[in-house]
Amino acid sequence: MSNFTDLDGYLFGQGTHYDIYKKLGAHKGKKGKDNGFYFDVWAPHASKVAVIGEFNNWDETRNFMQRVEPESQGVFEAFVPEAKEGQLYKYLIYTEDGEKLYKADPYATYAELRPGTASIIYDNTKFKWTDSSWMKQRKSGNFWEKPLAIYEVHPGSWKRHPREENDGFYSYKEFAHSLTEYVLDMGYTHVELMGISEYPFDGSWGYQVTGYYAPTSRYGTPDDFMYLINYLHKNGIGVILDWVPAHFPKDAHGLADFDGRPLYEYADPKKGEHPDWGTKIFNYGKSEVKNFLIGSALQWVEHYHIDGLRVDAVASMLYLDYGKKPGQWIPNEHGGNENLEAIEFFKHINTLIRGRNPGVVMIAEESTAWPKITGDVEDGGLNFSYKWNMGWMHDFIDYMKLDPYFRKDNHNKMTFAMSYNEAERYILVLSHDEVVHLKGSMLAKMPGLEVDKYKNLMAGYAFMMGHPGKKLLFMGQDFAQGTEWSEARELDWYVLDNPNHRHVSRMFKKLLHIYREYPAMYEQDVSWAGFEWINANDGYRSIFSFVRKSKSGKNDLLFVINMTPMNYDDYRVGVPTNRKLKLILDSENKEYGGNGEKIPEVIIPRKEECDGREYSAAFPLAPYQIAIFTY
């Protein structure tokens, strides 16, 4: 009896075999009285296939695989009683032209550490989860009305051991404890992990994947990875993974021309290759390919308990001409540049994953103005939970890099995002992409002399945290690392010995705790009901004032942020109410590197018109000062 049944073949051919990862690949089984492993691989264009590995001393003649009925499906299977967990293996594929290809298993759950390219037999069903409380509460409530403050982290360069062994990487278990301690102290709600799906080249940061079902072996086994997720969950921390269905590399052991012909990719290079990236584009019109990707996403969410997937390079999937010049791409059937098959793929996968897993989020890294990324499918949308707000990010960085003298002429860069805030459900992001490739760290982008750089950065972070939208910050930027990020070394933790860096770290920690403590900061992110400008037009002084509102109307917040080195002895701001204002953050506190000249902790507004308001409040406002009040 075959491991891969007629029903499996039918569902796979329809693109709806949502547990396909339990069938294709290497799986423990029994045939007759023999225990061993079944190997199943999809290679429809192959003339024959053998599985080779440590169990047969890599003998290419010992374990030929048989085509499973119906043969047209192109699945090959072998049962190997000698196979044992932990052994290396590959598929030897004979092409129609008689060429021999040595391929890693596309559905492998574990892989050999680079530079090795073999797959590893591994039973990833033994781990005992103890995160039931987290998994239960994940399903409850409306996640759009919950806080979401994401710490984006690359495990291999967060911290490293000084030893050379295994590049000094922290194991998944070591990383679990060290990361959790830091995240709990700072106040983030989630971590987003880069570079988890197996990949061959460190310099790709995990964005050129060869193992869509395998946690990278750089940091340990799949069970070790599950320990990491379980530990984070038990400490109340959500986990988001970067996931890359847009393209894959041409490495010989990978998916490219898998059975001697284009299989996972579009056959025509004008549709199947990214000229700039040197990678292949998945064929979103082929049922089995869609099933491969959907199965990968479902495995991360359902088997590994991942709370969300951040989908990389969505724009490159939606546009047939993305990164291509005239003559390098093929229009769709209507003559347009939209990839209709990718659009349907997104509608399918987002609806499926969110429907089967309430509380799980699908996040689009989409850099254009494509409409309704987070809209409902019934309304023509793609049904993502959130979209990275790349427009806000570019405007924010452009503004913050300016000498304060020129900010008055660019005030709209900081206010423009509110004009389209209701178009999508956004995450405000300052990600790894903004601190690499000679772009400099966030601190390095700031103008002014040394102390001014830190004050500028704190003011920028306060604006980001107060602005509607969920939040994401890349590691190292919360303590103002001076050098730009490299995957080849750990973060510059030593700079925390410098008081300027400690001040930024304390400030961002305080902002995170305010964000989580006050529902006004997150409950109504998508609606004008949760935000109101006090003065959006004070460009001459480059001061921003606005309020964040909760559903209940209790503990609403007033933000005042000075973006210049100008000092105001008696700055007056309009307020929405005559209720007393209670100061909850003052950047002039010495804890944040201020001069200690504090704003009064309680201010009673007076009936004096300002900013079009009946009531107003006055207080001293120092250069680059941040003041946050609750009322």
Question: Which residue numbers are catalytic?
Answer: 312, 365
Q: DSSP alpha helices (H): ranges in 56-152?
A: 132-138
Measured between its terminal Cα atoms, the distance across the chain in Å is 71
Q: Which helix (H) or strand (E) holds 185?
A: helix 172-186
* C-alpha to C-alpha distance for 501 and 478, rounded to whole angstroms: 9
Q: Are strands 279-280 and 273-274 parallel, antiparallel or unpaired?
A: antiparallel
| Number of residues assigned to the chain | 631
In the numeric block, which tokens belong to residue 239? 């986990």
* C-alpha to C-alpha distance for 7 and 18, rounded to whole angstroms: 12
Q: Looking up tokens 């199943």, which residue turns up?
A: 40
Q: How far is CA 215 from CA 197, 221, 295, 338, 440, in A?
A: 5, 8, 15, 32, 30
In the numeric block, which tokens belong to residue 134? 């987290």
With beta carbons less than 8 A apart as the criterion, state whether 210 and 198 touch: yes
Q: What are phi and psi of 440, to 5 degrees?
A: 80, 160
Could you give the 3-state DSSP secondary structure of residue 309? strand
In the numeric block, which tokens belong to residue 548? 């964040």
**How many other CB atoms are found less than 10 A from the CB of residue 44?**
16
With beta carbons less than 8 A apart as the criterion, state whether 361 and 240 touch: yes
Query: Nearest CA to 74 among 215, 261, 280?
Result: 261
DSSP secondary structure code for residue 217 in this structure: G
